[in-house]
Chain A
Amino acid sequence: MTTAIQVIVDALSVGSLYALTALGIGLIFGIMRLINFAHGEFVMIGAYMLMAIVAQYEPLAIIVAMVLVVVLALFSERIAFRPVRNASPTTMLVTSFAVSYFLQYLFVMIYGARPKGFEFLAGLAEPFVIGTIRIPKLNVAIVAVTIVLLAGLALFLTRSRFGVQMRAAALNFRMARLLGVRADRVIAVAFALSGILAGVTAIFITVQGGTLSPGMGVQLALIGFVATIIGGMGSLIGAVLGGYFIGVVTVLLQFGLPLEMRPYREAFVFAAVILVLLARPQGLFRGAEARERV
């Protein structure tokens, strides 16, 4: 029983991080068919910014890092992605690959390639103890903050005028523009939102991992893609569900796989990706009629 609860909390917190990442990638994909490889670097840079500023005051570090990541996301859109906006999805994908690489090595140049230890919000590492159950405060914080963010985003997308415009743009970009929805603004807001999600992810990853390296975002971005594909590209709810799904599967495999199979955990995950691409390109959670133009 005790283990079961701990496993569930684990799965939910891992899933939350993946869901936030998948959502950051999915928001941009929905609107401009760009798979943003560089999302992982947004997270990485957020984490380094926390480290750069933390000496002053932790809440300040969080605010400044978030703002910087949002600015970076907007800047990368303006400089690199806007010029290729009308190119094929493949060209955009290669561009984001280049941006990702560029940012990674920019940070290799500034901070070196070696991982750096960095303790942030150390208080979150302690557990809540309820009877025999020990649940890390961090995990609870991750799940709670994710729920708040998801709810906020859902409200924004359904209740605000601009949110509805964004959903319209994701469904049919040309028609949205023909009704007067400003392409530049919608895309900029999508990047800004994705920057906020990356900033939050950066905080949690930093607290959880305790080490930073310029390559730390790559793995996360990969999981984000997997989640968006499993959830069905273009569907935001799908991306969130996909994130939690991968989180749960990862934790279960960690517990359930025989020891000698554990190194191959990711091979199973990516084999599943290929299967989903082939058999259910609309994602696991949607009906066939929702099939996207992928």
Chain B
Amino acid sequence: MSLLAVDDLAVRYGPIAALRGVSVAVEEGEFVGVVGPNGAGKSTLLFAITGAVRAEAGSVSFDGQALSGLAPEDIVRRGMALVPEGRELFGELTVEENLRLGATIRRDRGGVEADVRAQMEAFPILAERRRARAEKLSGGEQQMLAVARALMGRPRMLLLDEPSLGLAPLITRQVYETLTGLNREGMTILVVEQNPARIIDVARRVYVLRSGRIARSGPPDILSRREELDEAYFGFDEHGRDA
């Protein structure tokens, strides 16, 4: 049984269909990528999984339990954590406050303290700047903080939306090294990216999302076959790339 099973999910913003019949499955311990052009519905997919936007039809289940109708705060308690596009740190709060907010769902004070120390060891820059406002960090540092914050909730599965957005190639590589490291230790990961090059070496499986539908899925080497990717990105139907 898949850890995360998204089945025939549909989301609509007013008259615009953002997702139409999307099915995605992620096994425990897998590293799965979703790629697709801007506006394909990638962020919507993650928000719909975590309950931040309401699905019109279809279902999401996590660890065999249906999530439909649950509020985001209840869904994250089941063991999922989202690192959204653009990080969405609380800019006016300090680095440490941001980090601790990641542990909102936990009751074990001792464990939280230990994890705060552990994250600060893993990302020394966070220890150095713990009293600084989060908005003062650089883009790469912010991304590290966002990942660390998500990990503070001790999730079984991490969902990331464009973790490479706006980062220099070197920093992007660091972020992905962190993710593969986590995956090796058993963390299930679902990453959404616009740029397939980031995913191709790290993901075990990929989905290609276009115009709110899954256009392709399979092993990452489907992304290296150029003509298939072109079709996915630019499409041969009348909807065009931003449909």
Contact = CB atoms under 8 A, between A and B. Distances in A.
Given A179-B153, A180-B105, A183-B71, A171 B90 contact: yes
Q: What is the interface of chain A mostly: helix, strand, loop, or mixed? A: helix
Contacts of B119: none
Contacts of A165: 101, 104
B44 interface: no
Contacts of A7: none
B104 A180 contact: yes
Contact of B93 (A161, A167, A180, A182): A167
Most chain B CB neighbours (cut-off 10 Å) among A161, A165, A178, A182: A178
A53 interface: no
Contact of A177 (B72, B90, B149): B72
A182 B72 CA distance: 9
B91 A178 contact: no
Contacts of B50: 178
Contacts of A178: 50, 52, 72-73, 76, 82, 84
B27 interface: no
Nearest to B97: A164
A168 B71 contact: no
Given A172-B90, A178-B52, A161 B72 contact: no
A31 to B, nearest CB: 13
What range describes how many residues of A lie at the interface? 10 to 19
A179 B149 contact: yes
Given A175-B84, A179-B104, A168 B73 contact: no
A178 B84 CA distance: 10
A9 interface: no
A32 to B, nearest CB: 15
A171 B92 contact: yes
Contacts of B104: 165, 179-181
A176 interface: yes
Contacts of B102: 179
A167 B88 CA distance: 14
Nearest to A186: B73
Contacts of B204: none
Nearest to A164: B97
Interface in B70-88: 71-73, 76-77, 81-82, 84, 88
Given A172-B88, A172-B90, A177 B71 contact: yes
Contact of B101 (A168, A174, A182, A183): A168
B241 interface: no
A115 B157 CA distance: 62
B212 to A, nearest CB: 21
Nearest to B96: A164
A236 to B, nearest CB: 11
B93 A179 contact: no
Contacts of B88: 172, 174-175
B181 to A, nearest CB: 23
B129 interface: no
Contacts of A167: 90, 92-93, 97
Interface in B115-174: 149, 153
A171 B76 CA distance: 19
A164 B101 contact: yes
B100 interface: yes
Nearest to B83: A178
Interface of B: 50, 52, 71-73, 76-77, 81-82, 84, 88, 90-93, 97, 100-102, 104-105, 149, 153
Interface of A: 161, 164-165, 167-168, 171-172, 174-183
